[in-house]
Structure 1
Amino acid sequence: MSIEIISVIVLFVSFFGLLVYGVPVAYSIGISTTLTLILNIIFMPSITTVAQRMTTGIDNFALLAIPFFILAGELMNRGGIATRLIDFAKSLIGSLPGGLAFVNIISAMLFGAISGSAIAAASAIGSTLTDKMESEGYPREFSAAVNISASTTGLLIPPSNVLIIFALASGGTASVAALFVAGYIPGILVGLAIMIMVYIYAKRNGLPRADRVNFKKLFIDFKNAILSLTLLIIVVGGIVAGIFTATEAAAIAVVYAALLGFLNRGLKVSDFKPILLKSAKTTAIVMFLIATSMAMSWLFSFEGIPQLLTATILDNFSNPILIFLIINIVLLIVGTFMDITPAVLIFTPIFLPVAIALGMHPVQFGMIIVLNLCIGICTPPVGTLLFVGSGVAKVSVTKVIKPLLPLLGVMVLVLMLITYFPDLSLWLPRVFDLID
């Protein structure tokens, strides 16, 4: 057995073994990478190599957008934006059967898109709506399930930190601007699919509907929410138009969110210390994950794992439909036990060459891997969003699973549509001349 094969075995066995043992993902990645490099005498001392690759991996201007978007999300969470979006959504669609559930979905989509964070959306919308939904006859576990599934749309609808990370992991084959524009249709499709399931559930169970509001009330709520919604136009429009980069857009989002928070009287100067501390902690976690994942990605390239996997798949399977189905199944399984950031960084270099070899555009693959992992963060055993959403709703995870399953089912259906109908991901970027 060659040293290359032994290295691959050591890498994967040590990595998954550490995960099963309960070691945090970032440490598991770093330790397994170091152990694998120890086998290669050429690279001794291995720790130096790992440190170098971690440092160079995060030495990227585009990654500066991540701490800015994290900070902007925290400012929005504290600045009263969620309440204004909920009021607007309630006026818009609250009169439908199961109206508050629809309000939950629309609000999570809007807040998730503005903040770029599924966790922030689940926390802000769930903490505001869950008690109100229960008081009007909605099962608490159903409210949590709707909030959890709808919050994932914020990872597809720009601005999204995960799409920036995928752009980095793709090695420049997919631009941030193209990914941002491509995310709209998949994100909206996920939201619409969840709405359809909620409508069916509402009709079967006789869930209440709110009174229809008059045009004046709708206009007032829209006016209160318009400044929050304008942030999407400024950030994404500015990037697409070439006025500024994603990093510059993120910095503008911070300034805009702070000014809007003061304007809404939801922010005080004393709020900045806890906001900055929480943002710094979140940024540190994300950047450490990226650093260790980039070291492992480099090791993949050195060992020739992507090329080996591509050749193996193409030699043993000839049907692209079957190959993409296998890739989706693997990513769905991966998503159940690995957080979205390291999963994107680790598995993009592995599966992207296969997808490109089969004629898939990198932007379309970006939508596929992100939606796969969005489903994963809603499922146990790791399921970050599942635990956050359940915690906010104050209901056990086991109770949330049953109402969540049909919603995850329609998300998988949307995933299949995006996989086998490329225009769902590529039409908008082509309209804006962002891809060929």
Structure 2
Amino acid sequence: MLELLGSFALMLVAGMPVSFCLVISSLFYLTINDISPIIAIQRVAMSIGDSFTLLSVPLFVLAGCIMNSGGITERIFGFANKLVGHITGGLGHANILASIIFSGMSGTAIADTGGLGAIELKAMKDAGYDEDFSLAVTGASSIIGPIIPPSVPAVLFGVIAGVSVGKLFIAGIVPGLFMGLMMSAFVYIQSKRKGYKKTERARVKEILQAFRKSFFAILTPAIIIGGMLGGMFTPTEAAVIAVAYALVLSFVYKEIKLKDIPRLLKETGNNTVSVMLIVAGASIFGWILTIEQVPQKITYLFINNIDNQVVALLFINLLLLMVGMFMETISAITILTPVLLPVVITFGIDPIHFGIIMILNLMIGLLTPPVGMVLYVLSAVSNVPFEKIVKAIWPYIIVLSIVLMIITFVPEIVLMLPGLLGM
């Protein structure tokens, strides 16, 4: 077992991509233990080829790419601004509301940051908002995306943990809205302190005009969630519908043409291949952890040293926050879910509740160095140094950590809606 973990850690520290670290360390273990490498091929085939649900990952990524190129994000932000722009710190609130709406379409924080982020930062700069404030709000609001359905991390967690992806989607709605509410409260406090002036309240006619322009874009989450709740389609079929719907809207808006499709497919492929490679590598790695009984050993370690659920949750949160600082989200979910799931079940924690806790922890990790992918994307779209963004975003990390603790110890926030819907 030491050879597996040691080789993995060594390659990770050396800067090798996580997918290669997983595959090479697993093959090294199989070789020195005289286990046929054919097992590795079988595990990869089973992890990717046999999972219908995993097909939704590239499809949701493609839907996000189409929306960012098809004029949909601009319409969403325009409507959000008309709706809440008159509140103190108006564009900050519009930033958060737009992220909540867009999160019901793309399922990834990076799509939110790269698409909405550029639009939001320009609007806030033109309106005279501080650069630090604008960057922090944009970065923090983007992580709502993988909490509110559809969610690529939720799909992966559901597949690996063997729980309902649809139930995970529904469970993320209230926590996502709660995150937005808490961030908006903090934006209001910051804006008061900075002395940002209120803008004139939009007239009803202006709000209706903005709503009419963005109506079909805003309708996307209702179609996805309503269809799944009504039993009309699965999460994977919902992803297909999201892609088709986004394409139709983009062509109607005349923002993309047929010649743009290959570029969008290439962009989706680039974003998806890395995810699938990690899932494939983690399937071999996870199989080895299972035959070595690592999950059982960690469960026994918890039971023997931790005597109550509260301490167990605190320890798991601390572990996930630390992992999120150094490991990419997909890698962390694929590696840690099989290890930690038996522990949380032993302590009577609902797997759906744990799934949302894990995803939120790792989303906060997207805002923290040294990995912090959202920070790198923000730096790219704003041309602001990475270090400056890190300094600006810390207050929001504190706010989101408070939200995390509330969601952790008030499970009803997560489980209430699935319970009401009889899921």
TM bucket, shorter chain = over 0.9
1:232 and 2:217 aligned: no
Residues 176-195 of structure 1 aligned to structure 2 (within 5 Å)? 176-195=165-184
1:57 and 2:47 aligned: yes
Structure 2 contact 104–220 (Cα < 8 Å) conserved: no
Shift of 1:402: 2.3
Amino acid paired to 1:389: L
Distance, in Å, in 2 between the alignment partners of 1:384 and 1:377 is 5
Aligned equivalent of 2:6, options 13, 17, 21:
13
Residues 88-167 of structure 1 aligned to structure 2 (within 5 Å)? 88-167=79-158
Distance, in Å, in 1 between the alignment partners of 2:73 and 2:117 is 10
Aligned length, in residue pairs: 422
Name the residue aligned to 1:430.
Answer: 419
Amino acid paired to 2:90: G
1:241 and 2:230 aligned: yes
Aligned equivalent of 1:29, options 22, 33, 37:
22
Structure 1 contact 142–400 (Cα < 8 Å) conserved: no
Amino acid paired to 1:58: I
Distance, in Å, in 2 between the alignment partners of 1:51 and 1:84 is 46
Shift of 1:102: 1.2
1:418 and 2:411 aligned: no
* 1:336 aligned counterpart, secondary structure: helix
Distance, in Å, in 1 between the alignment partners of 2:229 and 2:295 is 31
Name the residue aligned to 1:3.
Answer: none
Name the residue aligned to 1:38.
Answer: 31
Name the residue aligned to 1:291.
Answer: 280
Distance, in Å, in 1 between the alignment partners of 2:316 and 2:159 is 20
Shift of 1:50: 1.8
Name the residue aligned to 1:73.
Answer: 64
Structure 1 contact 30–296 (Cα < 8 Å) conserved: yes
Shift of 1:116: 1.2
Distance, in Å, in 2 between the alignment partners of 1:111 and 1:420 is 28
Gaps of 5+ in 2: none
Amino acid paired to 1:317: I
What are the Cα deviations for residues 129-183 of structure 1, in whole angstroms up to 9, with x where unaligned?
212312322122321111111000010100111101000110x2x2011001000
Structure 2 contact 63–242 (Cα < 8 Å) conserved: yes
Structure 1 contact 117–155 (Cα < 8 Å) conserved: yes
Name the residue aligned to 1:347.
Answer: 336
Distance, in Å, in 2 between the alignment partners of 1:70 and 1:61 is 16
1:215 and 2:204 aligned: yes
What are the Cα deviations for residues 204-251 of structure 1, in whole angstroms up to 9, with x where unaligned?
011233221100000111111121111111111111211111111111
Residues 371-390 of structure 1 aligned to structure 2 (within 5 Å)? 371-390=360-379
Distance, in Å, in 2 between the alignment partners of 1:420 and 1:110 is 27
Name the residue aligned to 2:76.
Answer: 85
Q: TM-score, normalised to structure 2's length?
A: 0.97
Structure 2 contact 136–393 (Cα < 8 Å) conserved: yes
Aligned equivalent of 2:355, options 359, 366, 378:
366
Structure 2 contact 87–198 (Cα < 8 Å) conserved: yes
Shift of 1:10: 2.1
Distance, in Å, in 1 between the alignment partners of 2:7 and 2:399 is 35
Shift of 1:197: 1.4
Residues 291-370 of structure 1 aligned to structure 2 (within 5 Å)? 291-370=280-359
Shift of 1:256: 0.5
Name the residue aligned to 1:4.
Answer: none
Structure 1 contact 117–160 (Cα < 8 Å) conserved: yes
* 2:145 aligned counterpart, secondary structure: helix
Amino acid paired to 1:100: L
Distance, in Å, in 2 between the alignment partners of 1:132 and 1:175 is 39
* 2:282 aligned counterpart, secondary structure: helix
Q: TM-score, normalised to structure 1's length?
A: 0.94
Amino acid paired to 1:54: V
Structure 1 contact 141–395 (Cα < 8 Å) conserved: no
* 2:352 aligned counterpart, secondary structure: helix
Amino acid paired to 1:169: I
* 1:212 aligned counterpart, secondary structure: coil
The percent of aligned pairs where both chains have the same amino acid is 38
